[in-house]
Structure 1
Amino acid sequence: MTGETAHVPVLLDRVLALFEPALADRDAVLVDATLGLGGHADALLSAFPRLRLIGLDRDPDALARSAERLARHGGRAEFVHAVYDRIPEVLADRGLSRVDGLLFDLGVSSMQLDRTERGFAYARDAPLDMRMDPTAGPTAADVLNTYPAGELTRILRDYGEERFAARIAKAIVSEREREPFERSERLVKLLYDAVPAATRRTGGHPAKRTFQALRIEVNGELGVLRAAIPAALAALAVGGRIVVESYQSLEDRVVKQGFAELAKSRTPQGLPVELPGHGPQLKLLTRGAEKAGETEIEQNPRAASVRLRAAERIGEVAR
């Protein structure tokens, strides 16, 4: 099997169980905000025969491949080329104001990692692209070759949590004056040389944090997520559920804060009763962030970093 056909959705059984109360035995609508290769979507459509699914992805290739995979479900699946901060617009175009389910499986997809030419994986030499939508926007090479040292330092520090951000940024600026960056192998070598040997021995691959930071910057991932979570919650019907799988702490923090804001009471402290209309609007369905078990991680190593959070809408969200 190829990497794509062998793709295994992360925490699939848990995702299905969390959505069951909102989707089972009824006509329901779910937005898969990060359709990818359609693994979660396929399982959801199979488990809930009356479900209508709207799948979003910014990658046209992913949409085409998932459309082929989900063809057996007929008109129950719809495919939209869009970034997930456009959920309100996508729903409005279809005459929908509320949905029963929202699924986010964040980060880079298995297909994007497996296809060397996309440039996401530091283990293989490839063009420095990293765009989730290869039809639009600047590439990682554009960032490396044009951003001033201060901006590169900020990106590596804030998005990659890289301790040696300033040192790496200085090395990048110096090296690009000799020759612009085009391929990943040259960047990986620079990073290997810039990170102290003691850190290389204990801190994981020296390129991991920089590649994460570049990918987040190229795709505007955190800004998009900060806009998308409140918009998604506002579109969730009472009794509807949202499930989010994150793969690094920055994403998970955005999701945690977005959920927490609506899961707390707005009644002033000290009052003996909850004021009407001031109660929590979300019920958290997970205690903290759930992680994959050892068995799943052995079978699917990409599950090792997952953090899953879920919530149910129990009251009106201010719009």
Structure 2
Amino acid sequence: MFQEPFLLDGREVFVTASIGIATSTSGTEGASELVRDADAAMYVAKNKGKDRFESFQPNMHADAVERLEIQVSLQRAVEQQELILHYQPIVDLVTGGVVGVEALVRWNHPERGLVFPATFISLAEETGLIMVIGQWVLEEACRQARAWHLETRSDAPLKISVNLSDRQLQDVRFVDQVRVAMERADLHPASLILEITERVITKEDDVVMDNLRRLSALGVTLAIDDFGTGYSSLSSLQRFPIDIIKIDKSFVDRVANGDEASAVARAVTDLSHTWGLTTVAEGIETAEQMSALRDMGCNLGQGYYLGVPMRAEEILSVLCEGVLETKTAT
């Protein structure tokens, strides 16, 4: 039933559901135990990609305990400043020049070491910690971009991309938070790119639409991240003040094969250029992929072939040189 949109105030709204199922095998389990087990199964469903159901298995107890430990540790990580940013270069596919970076959050866990966002971002979204984390990422990225600009003394402002959560974009205070972050860092709005998901724009939320318009009016660049994985179409994007389309890695992986994925990437690139939008290919891992994307007119790219995410001090030398030495991902 959730595959079809719901009509809400005359608009189509897509809804997904993650369902956990728990059944009594002995008849001795109480209601609270069954709810607990169903809750654990629901989180497994979410972690497997959402919009699905899972039945409770005994090993899920251990997963639930680990999840609780991560939640408690994540709260501490925010308070004790254990989060750090790494930066992945964004490259002009024609010239090879570095035109910007994407800020990627990492958790420098005192026991687990470097923890990647796939482990904790979904939990942060569910608990509301994503608002605090997202604001820190925004402020730190703006500060770092300004510092690089002063150190490199480049005439062209370095662009820095920051990923937004849906919750941030649905907050009526968000535009003011962006403006304050740029003002504190003395960062020009043209240097900031905010990446949003397809999912958030398909909701057609009035607050989201207003925030996007106000951000565009500020001079901030707006990008659709992982395009092609959601329900939106290129034509629907014309209603939003979007400047950049980031082609999802699932298409880039097969772009050199000449199959359907390649045709989709080419269509996205052609239509984007017709509408004056810039295209960025995500997850480039081979020379063949880069060549195919360049030949079809894709403007920019990022991925392990072009440059891995690096610490701020490592990225500085790359920015000073201006051009990356490509390498195959391992």
What interval of TM-score do these two structures reach, taking the shorter chain for normalisation?
Answer: under 0.3
Give the alignment's TM-score, normalised by structure 1: 0.27
The answer to which structure has the higher strand fraction is 2
